[in-house]
């Protein structure tokens, strides 16, 4: 009989072990399904973030197109205003009026410019001549500006002055 009690005790321990194993398997399976559920939720969140980012990018593209269009419109209006203003006739009129004013010279003293102003004038004339030479060689405004380390607007201004003088 002692043997039969031992068999019953071992059988009860075996059954309890099986129930514990089944319980642990079910708990693990529930956690695993929860993990997959969390992955699905995270995937949906990521898709929503990507959609929002694409929408923001399209809005930024539209905004940049609007800004570029406004800049181009302003540049066109400035160019039209610049073209409508002719400085050459005004300069010629001033020269004619200045020539008509009688000038009396009281002394024969010659006034020279300070040395700093002369060096700047020579430098400016050298720069202008360099721009003229490169333009005659067929270089573009951008290339001239890069080579002489000047702004494109300055190169255009120097070339427009040359065109007005011709």
What is the spatial distance between Cα 13 and Cα 54, in angstroms, rounded to a whole number? 61
pTM of the model: 0.32
How many domains does the chain contain in total? 1
Position 157 in a domain: no
Position 148 in a domain: no
Q: Which domain holds residue 35?
A: 1-85
What is the spatial distance between Cα 5 and Cα 1, in angstroms, rounded to a whole number? 6
| Residue range 103-144, pLDDT digits in tens | 555 545 455 555 544 444 445 578 888 888 999 999 999 999
| Residue range 5-25, pLDDT digits in tens | 888 888 899 999 999 999 998
Position 154 in a domain: no
Position 2 in a domain: yes
Position 152 in a domain: no
């Amino acid at each position: 009989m002692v043997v039969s009690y031992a068999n019953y005790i071992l059988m009860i321990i075996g059954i309890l072990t099986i129930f514990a194993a089944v319980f642990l398997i079910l708990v693990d399976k529930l956690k695993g399904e929860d993990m997959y559920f969390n992955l699905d939720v995270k995937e949906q969140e990521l898709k929503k973030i990507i959609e929002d980012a694409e929408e923001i990018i399209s809005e930024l593209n539209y905004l940049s197109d609007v800004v570029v269009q406004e800049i181009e419109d302003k540049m066109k209006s400035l160019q039209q205003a610049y073209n409508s203003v002719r400085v050459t006739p005004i300069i010629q009129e001033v020269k004619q009026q200045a020539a008509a004013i009688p000038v009396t010279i009281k002394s024969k003293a010659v006034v020279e410019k300070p040395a700093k102003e002369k060096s700047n004038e020579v430098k400016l004339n050298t720069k202008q001549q360099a721009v003229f030479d490169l333009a005659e060689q067929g270089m573009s405004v951008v290339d001239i500006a890069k080579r002489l380390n000047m702004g494109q607007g300055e190169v255009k201004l120097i070339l427009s002055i040359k065109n007005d003088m011709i």
